[in-house]
Structure 1
Amino acid sequence: MASKTIPAKKQQELQATYSNYKNTLQQLAQKIGDVEQEAEEHKSVTSPTPAAHSLHYLVARPIQGFWILALVLETLEPLSNDRKCFRMINGVLVERTVKDVVPALQTNAEGLKKVLDDLVKQYKTKQDDLEKWKVGD
């Protein structure tokens, strides 16, 4: 049975290339996680009634990734534009109107979705490159 030996220098090159692919994939996965975590930190609170003494709050909490923004937008959609709304900005709860909050949330949701889609695409491309490299293409 013939044994195929690879020179030590070639083995080191192969290991370095493999490690580079794995590190890049790990960094992209970390960035994806960071974007999802960033999205979870965007919370919105709305008051369901304008009555001053009977405020009940609907608190939109993170559910999965950035989809919370879509849920909040869906919740705010049927409300009138002058309805009182509260938004958490840098840890501070500020009073706004639905008219003021919805455009900002739409922009955030679109931006986060685009960034996340780009990162996932990069991850898949790099993963495909690794698989091709393993096969020897």
Structure 2
Amino acid sequence: MSGASKEPQLSEQELRIAANQYGNELKAIASKIGELELQLDEHNLVIKTMSPMPEERKCFRLINGVMVERTVREVLPALKTNKEGISKTIEQLTTQYRSKDKEFSEFQQKNHIRIASA
């Protein structure tokens, strides 16, 4: 019965494909984190710039490609909410990245894989 619990050995090509998939997934997650961090920086900059302004002051905001006129009072809370959402998403993606990286490391150890540096 102990033979039934063992996983079948993967061929070298299957191992290479699996390792590439892990690498691609990690790159995609890291890329998305970087993109969101840029958005977070932009939100922080705009919030910092708009905070001292009078609430009645007109400002413009791009919503789904359409420029709309609003007031600081309307835009600032929305920016802060968006900023919080972006921060939470970055946290979730970072957790996902760490989990996938750990899974990849375990896969490498289990299959005795070493990544050659170029």
Name the TM-score, length of structure 1 as normaliser: 0.61
Structure 2, gaps ≥5 residues long: 1-8, 112-118
**AA paired with 1:94?**
V
- 1:9 shift after superposition: 4.7
Structure 1 stretches (4+) deviating beyond 6 angstroms?
Answer: none
Counterpart in the other structure of 2:100: 126
**AA paired with 2:29?**
L
The question of 1:26 aligning with 2:27 is answered yes
Alignment of 1:1-137 (within 5 A): 9-33=10-34, 35-36=35-36, 64-136=38-110
Change (3 A) 1:16 1:102: same
**AA paired with 1:19?**
N
Q: Which has the higher contact order (CA 8 A, sep 6+)?
A: 2
CA distance in 2, matches of 1:28, 1:124: 10
Structure 1, gaps ≥5 residues long: 1-7, 40-63
Tell me the C-alpha RMSD between the 2 structures: 2.5
CA distance in 1, matches of 2:62, 2:14: 50
CA distance in 2, matches of 1:72, 1:30: 23
Q: What count of residue pairs does the alignment treat as equivalent? A: 103
CA distance in 1, matches of 2:10, 2:46: 56
Change (3 A) 1:75 1:9: closer
Q: Per residue, is there more helix in 1 or in 2?
A: 2
Name the TM-score, length of structure 2 as normaliser: 0.69
CA distance in 2, matches of 1:86, 1:9: 57
- 1:98 shift after superposition: 0.7
